[in-house]
Amino acid sequence: MANWIETLTGSLEQKRQYKQYQARVEALPEPYHAAAKALQRYFVYFGGPIDGETTVTMMGDFVDLWEQAAADRTPLRAIVGDDPVEFAETFVRAYSGRQWIDKERARLAKAIDEAERGQRP
């Protein structure tokens, strides 16, 4: 039964791990909690990896980073630098795997190819 469900919904183990990572983020003290939540929100809009294994690995590393920073009382800017957007995008790009935007990139390229074919006399 579990194999059938996982075929439709993805790995149940990965979902369990992801929920554990989310609970660890929620347990972070301020200001690390607020920063981590803001970065997670950006990851969603930026279009991080879509395969479960890569996402779980990325989230594990992400929460480890923030827990260590909180334990060491590392200043936020020492972690994210002057440009938090660059930090977020570099962090996500460090993890291989397919991204949400890949589908749209392929769709755009195909649409332009088809438009070009229709333009030829």
pLDDT per position as a tens digit, 78-104: 999 999 999 998 998 888 766 667 788
3-state helix, strand, coil in the chain (%, to 5): 80, 0, 20
* Assigned CATH for 2-119: 1.10.1900.10
pLDDT per position as a tens digit, 15-41: 889 899 999 999 999 999 999 999 999
Listed by start position, the domains of the chain span 2-119
pLDDT at 10 over 80: no
d(CA 87, CA 81): 7
d(CA 32, CA 62): 12
